[in-house]
Amino acid sequence: MDKKDNRRNFIKRAAAAATGMAGLSILPNVGLPNNNAVTDGIHIIGPREGFSPQMGTLLSMMTWMRNVVVLGVENMTKEELDYLHDPNANTIGAMLLHLAATERQYQIKTFEWDIDFRGDGKINWDAAMRLGEKGRKLIKGNGLDYYLNILNETRLATINEFKKRDDDWLSKIDPSGFQKMPTNNYCKWFHVCEHESNHNGQIKWIKSRLPGAKPGND
Q: Which residues bind its own copies (CB under 8 A)?
A: 33-34, 38, 41-46, 54, 57, 61, 64-65, 86, 88, 90, 130-132, 171, 173, 177-184, 186-187, 190, 193-195, 197-202, 204-205, 208-209, 215-218
Nearer to its own copies, 81 or 192 (CB): 192
For residue 63, the minimal CB distance to its own copies (Å) is 11
Minimum distance from residue 133 beta carbon to its own copies (Å): 9
Q: How far is the CB of 165 from its own copies (least distance, A)?
A: 15
Closest to its own copies by CB, 115 vs 181, is 181
Q: How far is the CB of 158 from its own copies (least distance, A)?
A: 17
Residue 217: Cβ-neighbour burial (10 angstroms; 0-12, 13-18, 19+): exposed
Question: What is the nearest approach in angstroms of its own copies to the Cβ of residue 125?
Answer: 16
Residue nearer to its own copies on the CB measure, 86 or 112: 86
Alpha helices in 111-143 (DSSP H): 125-130, 132-138
CA angle 96, 159, 166 (to 5 degrees): 135
Closer of 134 and 143 to its own copies (Cβ): 134
Q: Closer to its own copies at the Cβ: 25 or 179?
A: 179
Q: What are phi and psi of 44, to 5 degrees?
A: -105, 115
Phi-psi region of 208 (alpha: psi -120 to 50; beta: other; left: phi over 0): alpha
Rounded CA separation 58/51 (Å): 10
| Least Å from the CB of residue 215 to its own copies | 4
Question: Phi and psi dihedrals of 88, rounded to 5?
Answer: -100, 0
CB nearer its own copies, residue 20 or residue 177: 177
Burial degree of 149 (CB within 10 A; 0-12, 13-18, 19+):
middle
Cβ–Cβ contacts within 10 Å for residue 27, how many? 20
